[in-house]
Chains A and B, each alone.
Chain A
Amino acid sequence: MSEAKRPSAGKTAVVTAAVTGSAVTAESPGGVLKKSLWKRIQQHRTLYLLFIPVLAYFLVFKYWPILLAWVVAFKELQLGSGVFESPWVGLQNFKDIFLSPDIPTVIRNTIEISVLRLVCGFLPPIILAIMFHDMATRRLKRWLQTLVYIPHFFSWVIVFGVVFGFFSVGSGFVNNMLASFGFDRHEFLLDSSWFRPILIGSALWKEIGWSTIIYLAALSTVDSQLYEAAVIDGAGPLKRMRHITLPSIMPVVTFVLCINLGFLLNAGGEQILLFYNDAVLDKADVIDTWVYREGLARLQFSLATAVGLFQSVIGLALVVICNYFAKKISGRGIW
């Protein structure tokens, strides 16, 4: 390798180090030189100066609200008084939440729907991404990709319109099909047992295409020489997938799984708000919808914030646990 190319090799090492979390510093690919933070700031003060707006953005729009949320969760927010002037109530908001008769059902529904989303929504994008990756005809691949990406850009209102068009009793496509085969029409939208399949199915239809993007990006980095070598060695498509494709995208899969686990208590409130009705509330009411009704519509902002805090803490704990086990089992984690 020529001398001129060495710096770029160094940069690659830095990026890799950033992903793997190794202690190798930017200044010393070998990890020999270590400078204090202040010295590094002095040396690259222009770059750090440019970083200030980014830092300020995160502090003002991300961390400050988190701090406020922590405070509000332990206060009874009075609109006229503001966050800091409102009286402290200790754990009263959390007591109110957990003493509410709705909460056991709401938490159970949240976890069940989230797990269903995770189970049903995790593998299909990976499979679809691998199928796209292995597709020989580029034009067909692009056409199909566009087709599956489009639903992502539909709002949930439109998606519900489509669902209503499919499952309504009067003129719904599914009921028309049932009727044409001599079966009775069924009130799918009033049937609790059908609520979740319709919810998960429509969410999958909307997001499956978009979710493939991250896996396709990961697949695009796999060295094509590996596949060529495998073919020469006699590996068939399934073996190539097992021994090359899947191991290559495993870090991304682990990352996505960990992140998704962090949202276990966020079961997709916006979609459910549009899809549910009183008849299916026992299977549909989740934390987000409960917070929407109790917090926003009834001016109980402290209660809503306390629930949000609870969701965040559980989510963080799940991410940490997932990351721990991912590292333990596969040696890879997100940090």
Chain B
Amino acid sequence: MFRRTTVIAISLMLVLSLVLAACSDGSKDSNSGNNGKGNQAETGGDKPDQASGGAADEAAGVVKPEDLVFPEKFPDVPKAVDYDKSYAYDDMSKNYTIDIMIGGFINQPATQDMIKEFYEKTFNVTLKFTNLSAEDLVNKTNVRFASGDAPDVVLLGDKAIAQALFKQGQLLEATEILPYMTQMMTYVTQEYKNWSTDNGNMVGIPRLPVFPDVWGNFIRQDWLKKLGMEMPKTADEVFAYAKAVTEQDPDGNGKPDTYFMGAAGGGQGFGMMAGLMDMFGHRSWNVKDDKINHPMLDGTMKSYLEFMKKLNDNKLLAPDWYTIQWEQFKAYTLQNKIGMVNYPGWNLLQEQYSASQNDVKTIENWAPVPPLSAVAGQEGLMPPGGSPGGIYVISKKAGEDQGKLKRIAHFLDAVQYPNKYYWVGNQGGGPEIWPDYTKVVTNEDGTYYYESDMAKLQNEMKPELKGMMDWQSLGYTLIWERHRYSPDVPYNEPGDKYQDIVRAYPRQKNYDMLLNLDGPTINRLKDFTEKNEIAFVLGKRSFDEWDKYVDEWKKAGGEKLIKQAAEQLEAAAP
């Protein structure tokens, strides 16, 4: 009898636990952190706070969404907002759990995340932080929204995903949270607003770019000298340099082991070699003679691919140039095997200096290439600039609790440049995290630099803490960052100078900021074009078929986008 009762009891318990497991809502887990917060949990946790708002917001000086004023341009000298006044709407009494997902570059949790601890203490929040690679971020985000376990904030790199999620009714209209974000409102320009608006709805908040138009082609000027060549200006001169680099042994080691360039995109697109397209024309949607234009329509893409084929046929590109990953390709670059790269100037000099065991002469190896042109005498242009560095999206679920929404706004706004807590999460931790090693110096022109003992900091920054560095994806931008000029960091001054030079080059007009094209069609076309473009370069498709290919492109969605772009830019059809 006892045995039978036991069996029955065990069976019932198993059934119960199974049913409970099946019916449990994963989304609840993210809020369960409050239970472990002792007194904080007793203060109310994440209970909806619909009562707040309204009169309290007015008293705190919060504007209505319809009264938001979007600036025409970034401030000349950014200033931090009046912190206490700007966030008076948030009484900070309750603890909220905020679930944040971002695309990082370390993408592993830190064993002791001091930045997270600082934020949690300062903002009275419990943070759930997920850092993933760009592709994983998209997939994970989609799965979480689909399973009803939506995160509160996601920083996406691709606007199309934000559009799709918004269409599915999953996201909060950004103008509902922006009134609480006074710092953010100093740089969400009218252009940024247009970019993030789809069918009249602002689907997210544009993020400042980390690297603001500082990517450029850099050439080995020591090799140019050795080869007796001038800085290339045209496509033919670039090709001549590429041939000389590969065939004339500029490093003088007697081995055929130097190459012009590589895509380093891991088999997905032309990566750093995409910049060469600018020699031949505008790389994206544009208006030409009052008609809508695209590189597929005016021969820009064809000329570019023919040039790429020429480089490949002549074996001027690095081994595995198309399939190799970015980090693996760095080994070629920093071991003096590559003649041209597309890079942010400061990073290139810093990495080259470190890789050469602090050989100061290596800093002089690289120099930026002025905008190239296919035709001699014609002015070259850099690619379109001024694009945002991603888009913050806020889940609708997060917006259901006004108190929580305000805390999210408060937190996100406080980590924007140059607000009070901007430096906390950057570079693996600012002065608040590493007071012995890091100091921030602000300049009168609105710029700043870190006065840090990098050697000591890197020694302290154990591998298990590296995941902390991904917090900088939240708000870090180089727009206003300068570097300390000193003999112990000899790459800082030329690095900054090169970035300024590249940023000052004339650029193609950025029509993409004015467009909101159909996201799924763009994505589908991307698959279609990437596989065909490499087929042309490798000779699997003949350029005799080019017109046929353009027709295929139109049928695959190009025609639809042409119509949309023409309509939105008020240009005639081609």
Contacts and interface: CB of A to CB of B under 8 A. Distances in A.
Interface centre among B135, B266, B267, by most chain A C-beta atoms within 10 angstroms, is B267
Interface in B526-542: 527, 530-531, 533-535, 538, 540
B111 interface: no
A33 B540 CA distance: 72
Contacts of B26: none
- What interface size band does chain B fall in? 35 or more
Interface in A187-230: 187, 189-190, 192
B11 interface: yes
Contacts of A74: none
A278 B8 contact: no
Contacts of B19: 56, 60
B173 to A, nearest CB: 14
A101 interface: yes
A25 interface: no
B486 to A, nearest CB: 38
Nearest to B143: A296
B18 interface: yes
Count chain B CB atoms within 10 A of each CB in A276, A281, A282, A300 and give the residue with the most: A281
A133 interface: no
B381 to A, nearest CB: 27
A35 interface: no
A82 B169 CA distance: 12
Contacts of A56: 15, 18-19
Contact of B146 (A46, A53, A282, A301): A301
Contact of B170 (A52, A80, A189): A80
Contact of B267 (A49, A50, A276): A276
Contacts of B14: 52-53
Contact of A170 (B142, B318, B322, B535): B318
A162 B555 CA distance: 40
B421 to A, nearest CB: 33
Contacts of B540: 192, 279
A169 interface: yes
B531 A298 contact: no
B165 interface: yes
A192 B541 CA distance: 13
B550 interface: no
B50 interface: no
Interface in A34-84: 46, 49-50, 52-53, 56-57, 60-61, 77-80, 82
A170 B523 CA distance: 32
Given A293-B527, A297-B142, A298-B164, A78 B7 contact: no
B18 A190 contact: no
A78 B168 contact: yes
A50 B164 CA distance: 47
Contacts of A57: 18
A278 B534 contact: yes
Contact of B531 (A60, A169, A281): A281
A49 B322 contact: no
Interface of B: 4, 7-8, 10-11, 14-15, 18-19, 22, 135, 138-139, 142-143, 145-146, 148, 161, 164-165, 168-170, 266-269, 318-320, 322-324, 396, 520, 523, 527, 530-531, 533-535, 538, 540, 555-556
19 contacts: A46-B4, A53-B15, A60-B18, A60-B22, A78-B169, A79-B145, A79-B146, A80-B396, A170-B320, A171-B319, A190-B322, A277-B267, A277-B322, A278-B269, A278-B534, A279-B267, A279-B534, A282-B531, A293-B527
Interface of A: 46, 49-50, 52-53, 56-57, 60-61, 77-80, 82, 101, 164, 168-171, 185, 187, 189-190, 192, 276-279, 281-282, 293, 296-301
List the 10 shortest-distance A-B pairs measured between CB atoms, nearest first.
A277-B267, A170-B319, A53-B14, A169-B319, A80-B169, A79-B168, A281-B531, A60-B22, A278-B530, A279-B534
